[in-house]
Structure 1
């Protein structure tokens, strides 16, 4: 392809009518209840029992509550932008498809590529955590795997493969490949059980709160570190931000939603409100039960705090629900991620086989591809160093969506009869700047890894996508 032809292809925008036609084969079977359950299932994962304690000890102290609120406000601004896009263009692939229409093929591809990293790494991290929790659960019955099968590949530790992590992903992939309606029903029940135990923790834990543990609420900044002061609060917000990937997950399923113009905005905003209340409640109670320094290096601070307070039954119940919570998160991520892979194949930027639908109108190949990639990443390669890349991918998507609203309003070929982001154009601009501010707060490793991933994505586009795109 000549250089001029390449740049022309990069700038070409998708006709929204083409996406409506292509995604018309996906069946709209999901309602508001299923979409909120999917969103909450992703946002409120097992991390709700671990992140508040870890971020309090390492960054913000009791002000971890403020970190969650700041992250929620920034995510909330982006949620409004997502709501407008999901209402106007209910297509599979969320930000990838929207950016293709608004910015052009190359920007759309890079936005989708960033979100793909988000899905893959989140699936890998959660499956690894699920495996660790499950092995701990089995060890209480005297059951243990051979060391080589306990975690990801490491010659130094003598480990080769995370067996349970891989099995969890395979089970979830199979469940999702059988249909989103069935998977959504399972998700509904898992989320209801998880929320019930979170509320139980807040109620029971509140009886053990000691007010002096919240003093000082914002610890002084420790020079040379990321702890304390508003610096620590903002660093904490950057750490917890990836949890709010949930509404991106449900936006990716817009093409399979009934009455999408009304359902999608309600599901996105509802997910964020429910999740924020739960996160803030757990963080406040946890840091009130014990001094935040007690949670340093503690992988299960909520269960530990309950056990130390004499609530053994609730602590054990919480540990079991953590397993359930992670599984529900895997389901939601697998559904959203597989629809993104389907979207890549639909447009020819990845092999068209990825977009092939089975007799039930389901993208089984897309689900299979995502499952295999997540198994390889999570069960074979160490993924701890990649954790911050999840936040980076999320923030890139939010910046693209917020700025995109400014361009979306000018399009006359798109139906704007549904939800609109308020206070246009000021609020979209504030949303974009807030996400940019949080993005630059990520640590250097995350920024470098993000740059590398984006460069790889650009090379994939030039080598394959630009030559096989199905745009006329």
Structure 2
């Protein structure tokens, strides 16, 4: 992340042995302070929910890597994924907290049916990308049952998050809001990949940034 510019470049600096010394020191101090002053109950739920959200973002990212919007409907895939995740959140809350009422059961059933329809529409309207000319045979990874498996994973993640207490959900929303504000105020303006893109080579085992401006600052002199 520091290499891309999403966080300050000091986190990408290495010592003479190639260790991320400054990044380890700073993040370690922050973690010690949090573990010391924040009750473990809050940490446990917040960390679990944060990991589930990270998995959900990964699920959506995999779909964006493997599928594309039709040419006559730009950003259709992105819009469908946003609607799908919002509906998955609502359905998870209904299934977790309102199944003891008839209205809750009806709305939950409607949400599940709508999620299935959205899955089919994403598959039908957003064709898979042909990556044979972009990636070498040794690069990348296989993703079975696209896009249904990652979409199902997102539903399960949101369902588990919906089981949190209301206070924990509020903390999670605040945490996500702080992260998003930090990203839009700092990271998105400095991201090398966001402004210049990333170049890939079939012969390389890694992805490197184009015209990476922090290369000379990696090591501490």
* TM-score of the pair, normalised by structure 1: 0.25
The offset of 1:400, in angstroms, is 1.4
1:466 to 1:401, Cα distance in 2 relative to 1, 3 A: closer
What's 1:153 paired with? none
Q: Partners in 1 of 2:136 and 2:17 — Cα distance?
A: 29
The offset of 1:432, in angstroms, is 1.8
Q: RMSD of the alignment, in Å? A: 2.2
1:360 aligned onto 2:17: yes
1:449 to 143, 167, 171: 171
The offset of 1:414, in angstroms, is 4.4
1:428 to 1:363, Cα distance in 2 relative to 1, 3 A: same
The offset of 1:368, in angstroms, is 0.9
The offset of 1:395, in angstroms, is 0.9
The offset of 1:403, in angstroms, is 2.3
Asked if the contact 1:349–1:464 (Cα under 8 Å) also holds between the matched residues in 2, the reply is yes
1:404 to 61, 72, 76: 61
Q: Partners in 2 of 1:416 and 1:436 — Cα distance?
A: 34
> For residues 31-180 of structure 1, what are the structure 2 equivalents within 5 Å?
none
Aligned residue-pair number: 129
Asked if the contact 1:348–1:468 (Cα under 8 Å) also holds between the matched residues in 2, the reply is yes
What's 2:180 paired with? 458
What's 1:370 paired with? 27
Q: Partners in 1 of 2:169 and 2:137 — Cα distance?
A: 36
Instruction: Compare the two structures and name the one with the higher helix fraction.
Output: 1
What's 1:433 paired with? 155
What's 1:380 paired with? 37
Partner deviation per Cα, 1:253-277 (whole Å, 9 max, x = no partner): xxxxxxxxxxxxxxxxxxxxxxxxx
Q: Partners in 1 of 2:19 and 2:135 — Cα distance?
A: 26
1:351 aligned onto 2:8: yes
Q: Partners in 2 of 1:426 and 1:469 — Cα distance?
A: 31
Gap runs ≥5 in structure 2:
67-128, 197-221
Asked if the contact 1:386–1:446 (Cα under 8 Å) also holds between the matched residues in 2, the reply is no
2:49 to 379, 383, 392: 392
The offset of 1:411, in angstroms, is 7.0
Q: Partners in 1 of 2:169 and 2:11 — Cα distance?
A: 30
Structure 1 runs of 4+ aligned residues shifted over 6 Å read none
Q: Partners in 2 of 1:376 and 1:465 — Cα distance?
A: 24
Asked if the contact 1:377–1:383 (Cα under 8 Å) also holds between the matched residues in 2, the reply is no
Partner of 2:192, secondary structure, is coil
Partner deviation per Cα, 1:23-73 (whole Å, 9 max, x = no partner): xxxxxxxxxxxxxxxxxxxxxxxxxxxxxxxxxxxxxxxxxxxxxxxxxxx
Q: Partners in 2 of 1:432 and 1:348 — Cα distance?
A: 28
The offset of 1:464, in angstroms, is 2.5
* TM-score of the pair, normalised by structure 2: 0.51
Partner deviation per Cα, 1:206-256 (whole Å, 9 max, x = no partner): xxxxxxxxxxxxxxxxxxxxxxxxxxxxxxxxxxxxxxxxxxxxxxxxxxx
